[in-house]
Amino acid sequence: MLIHLSDIRKTYVLGTVALEVLKGIDLDIEKGDFIAIMGASGSGKSTLLNIIGCLDRHTSGMYHFEDIDIAKRSDDELAEIRNKRVGFVFQTFNLLPRFPALKNVELPMIYSSIPSNERRDKALEMLKKVGMSHRIEHKPSELSGGEQQRVAIARALVMQPQIILADEPTGNLDSSSGKEIMNIFKELNSEGVTIILVTHEAAIAKDAKRIITIKDGVCDSGCN
């Protein structure tokens, strides 16, 4: 079992109003799975993804990531988990505009004390894997949306994480670029990488092995 969620709740306090976004999610994810989380906007699917990626903390419930009890871990330990075991892919790519593609891919390794020549080699390897080895010195502004997302995937892969979390990865792309990105994900999954992606497009979700639907903070279908 890679991920085990049980009765996960998340409450945001905005001023005096408490907003319960997740109302008790039970979910198990096996190694090598390819999951699409679907749901309307505001349903809590992104929040669930952020919790799985240790970017956010759940308010109550139990979350085990590879037998690590996340609730008991410090912020620094969560940073360590994000660094070594999780790769994020965002809708808006989130590349650093001042740096070329290569430097962007090297970024996670900087926080892992990997020497600079090794960083470069690994980053090059990952850029090659996503078909971007001809663009390594280009800055994000000089790349198309699809190309930027490939660089972002290379960045997510570079630490060889157990799991890739993608939040609407095709949301800002035209359909052909989106298709290419999905092909990369499928290929990665066939190599054994666990993938969870959040989407509201059924056409994207059908590429996944398993579809989970979230509605108003509870699991509507696909959970355990």
Partner 1 sequence: MDVIEVLRVSRDSIMSNRIRAFLTTLGVIIGVTAVILLVSIGEGARRYIQTEFSGLGSNILIVVPGKTSKEGGTHMGTSAVRKLVYDDALLIKKRSRHIQHSVPVVAGTSLIKHGSKSRSTYIIGVTEDYFEARSLTIDSGRFINTSDVDSGRNVAVIGRTVKKEILGEANPLGALITIGSTKYRVIGLMAPKGVTLGFDIDDIIFIPTTSAQVLFDTDSLFNITVKVRSEEEITAAKNEIKETLIKKHAGEEDFTVFSQDEMLATMEKILKIMTAVLAGIAAISLIVGGIGIMNIMLVSVKERTREIGLRKAVGAKNRDILFQFITEAVALSLVGGLIGILCGMAFTWVIPLFIPSLPTSLSAWAIFLAFFFSMSIGVFFGVYPAKKAAGMDPITALRYE
Distance CA 10, CA 216 (A): 12
The residue (of 79 and 124) whose beta carbon lies closer to partner 1 is: 79
Query: Which strand (E) or helix (H) includes residue 6?
Result: strand 3-14
Q: Between 28 and 59, whose beta carbon lies closer to partner 1? A: 59
Structure tokens at 28: 């198990």
What is the distance between the alpha carbons of residues 17 and 160, in angstroms, rounded to a whole number?
Answer: 41
| Helix H or strand E encompassing 165 | strand 163-167
Specify the residue, 94 or 221, whose C-beta has the smaller distance to partner 1.
94
If one asks whether residue 144 binds partner 1 (CB under 8 A), the answer comes out as no
Residues in the chain, how many?
Answer: 224
Binding track, positions 76-115, relative to partner 1; x by CB under 8 A: x--xx-xxx---x-x---x-x-xx-------xx-xxxx--
Residue type for 193, please? V
Answer yes or no whether residue 55 interacts with partner 1 by CB under 8 A.
yes
Residue number with CB closer to partner 1 (18 or 96)? 96
Please say whether the dihedral angle defined by the alpha carbons of residues 61, 62, 65 and 69, taken in this order, is positive or negative. Answer: positive
Nearer CB in complex with partner 1: 76/176: 76
Write the CA distances from 197 to 37, 77, 107, 178, 204, integer angstroms. 6, 24, 22, 13, 9
Q: Kindly identify the residues of this chain, within the stretch 158-177, that bind partner 1 according to CB under 8 A.
A: 159
Q: Write out the binding residues for partner 1, residues 182-201 only, by CB under 8 A.
A: none
| Footprint on this chain of partner 1 (rule: CB under 8 A) | 50, 53, 55-56, 75-76, 79-80, 82-84, 88, 90, 94, 96, 98-99, 107-108, 110-113, 116, 155, 159
